[in-house]
């Protein structure tokens, strides 16, 4: 059994879904591990990870619109607003999604469905540099 780990630096220029599938797949392919399990973990509390459709951009737009309705940025609604009006909504959106994903690896590639992509979901409006840890265990 072998393992490998790295950190991806993911710049986000705005709130929304940022596709990291290609970067993740390239890193996995370079590790020389044919079969195993990839853990993808984001080191933040106001951004999250999702596996979602990567074919039709209206899916992503609808997801973002739904989350804006579900967790509104409304002044006076939250006590925690240290970093601005999108601060607490970002924490809630992260709590409703995921900070870690487990993805099988076969033949040196993440096993994703035909229409699946791996996304960093930035929940803050301003640019950030998000760190995503990749850990691959296998043989």
CB-based burial, 61-75: b 16+ in 10 Å, e otherwise = eebeeebeeebebee
Residue 113, pLDDT > 90, answer yes
What tokens appear for 50 in the block? 């999702």
> What's the CA gap between 132 and 5, in Å, rounded?
11
DSSP 62-111: HHHHHHHHHS---TTS-S--TT-TTHHHHHHHHHHSBSEEEEEEETTEE-
* Per-residue model confidence as pLDDT tens digits over 72-81: 999 899 999 8
The confidence score (pLDDT) of residue 38 equals 99
In the chain the domains, ranked by start, together with CATH numbers, are 2-138 (2.60.120.460)
């Amino acid at each position: 059994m072998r393992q490998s780990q790295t950190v991806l630096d993911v710049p986000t220029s705005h709130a929304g879904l940022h596709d990291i599938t290609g970067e993740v797949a390239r890193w996995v392919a370079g590790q020389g591990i044919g079969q195993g399990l990839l853990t993808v973990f984001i080191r933040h509390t106001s951004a999250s990870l999702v596996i979602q459709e990567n074919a039709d951009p209206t899916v992503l737009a609808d997801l973002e619109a739904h989350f804006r309705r579900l967790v509104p940025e409304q002044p006076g609604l939250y006590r925690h607003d240290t970093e601005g009006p999108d601060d607490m909504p970002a924490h809630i959106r992260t709590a409703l999604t995921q900070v870690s994903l487990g993805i099988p690896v076969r033949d040196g590639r993440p096993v994703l469905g035909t229409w699946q992509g791996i996304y960093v979901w930035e929940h803050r409006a301003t640019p950030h540099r998000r760190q995503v840890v990749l850990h691959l265990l296998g043989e």
